[in-house]
Amino acid sequence: MMHGTIASAHAKIKESLANGGVAIDATCGNGKDTVFLATHATRVIAFDVQKKAIENTERILMDVGLSDKVRCIHASHDTISDAVQESVRVVVFNLGYLPGGDASLTTRKDTTIAAIRQALNVLEPGGLLSVTVYPGHKHGAEEAEALEVYAARLPAKQFTAVIERVMNRQDAPHNIFVYKH
Ligand SMILES: C[S@@+](CC[C@H](N)C(=O)[O-])C[C@H]1O[C@@H](n2cnc3c(N)ncnc32)[C@H](O)[C@@H]1O
């Protein structure tokens, strides 16, 4: 049986949102993670750089009756500090490119790290940052390397950073979880 990377991230996110709270979906794509967050969070703020992704997310939210809980923002996630003026319980990055879309419009390490820095600032104490990384393509491998260095250097007094990875398949997707104290 394959390791369920997304299922594992969702389990931890659900646990963090047991009492509700605000969540950010930093890469809403086709809206699957946004729907999951909107099911468990009090409110969700969702970002994507692609108009098509925002449209797909808004459509699926309408279909399942959750659009009232979500504010979709058509902008890069490295504008989190401008767009979000409140503390949030959970921030989710599902990196890479839109499934079935243009693979060149993928997340990139520099913007990803800048956005994660902003996400950790708006995270409330006890909150969770969940990042799913896809090292199986060039930009994903660069992101995986940069993120590992970045997360390993986070001050241990403020954060606990955890990596959850398949040990015998180097290019398998994996999760990084950062808990804010
Ligand atoms: C793997 S997909 C996300 C899948 C999505 N969470 C879902 O459930 O369908 C990655 C998404 O990141 C978006 N993206 C790429 N660069 C971005 C950026 N700088 N800011 C926000 N979104 C970005 C892409 O447009 C793409 O839709």
The string of pLDDT tens digits covering residues 28-85 is 999 999 999 999 999 999 999 999 999 999 999 999 999 999 999 999 999 999 999 9
- Rounded distance between C-alpha atoms, residue 33 and residue 39, angstroms: 10
Please say if the pLDDT value at position 1 is more than 50.
no
Pocket of ligand 1 (CB under 6 A): 27-33, 47-50, 53, 76-77, 94, 96-98, 105-107, 111
- CATH code, domain with 14: 3.40.50.150
Query: 147 near 133, Cβ under 8 Å?
Result: yes
User: Ligand 1 mean position to 157 CA, how many Å?
Assistant: 31
What pLDDT score was predicted for residue 167? 94
Of the chain, the percentage scoring pLDDT greater than 90 comes to 94
Question: With contact defined as beta carbons under 8 Å apart, do 50 and 30 qualify?
Answer: no
Structural domain range at position 152: 5-180
Do 6 and 94 form a contact (C-beta atoms < 8 A)? yes
Residue with the bigger pLDDT between 1 and 136: it is 136
Q: 65: alpha, beta or left, given left = phi > 0 and alpha = psi -120 to 50?
A: left
Mean pLDDT of the chain: 96
Give pLDDT tens digits for 144-164: 999 999 999 999 999 999 999
Cα of 58 vs centre of ligand 1, distance in Å, is 14
pLDDT value for 2? 52
How confident is the model at residue 3, as a pLDDT?
66
Number of domains the chain contains:
1
Q: What is the mean pLDDT of residues 76-100?
A: 96
Q: Which of 13, 27, 81 to mutate to test the pocket of ligand 1 (most atoms within 8 A of CB)?
A: 27
Report the pLDDT value the prediction gives residue 102, as an integer from 0 to 100: 84
**Which residue's C-alpha comes closest to atom 3 of ligand 1?**
29
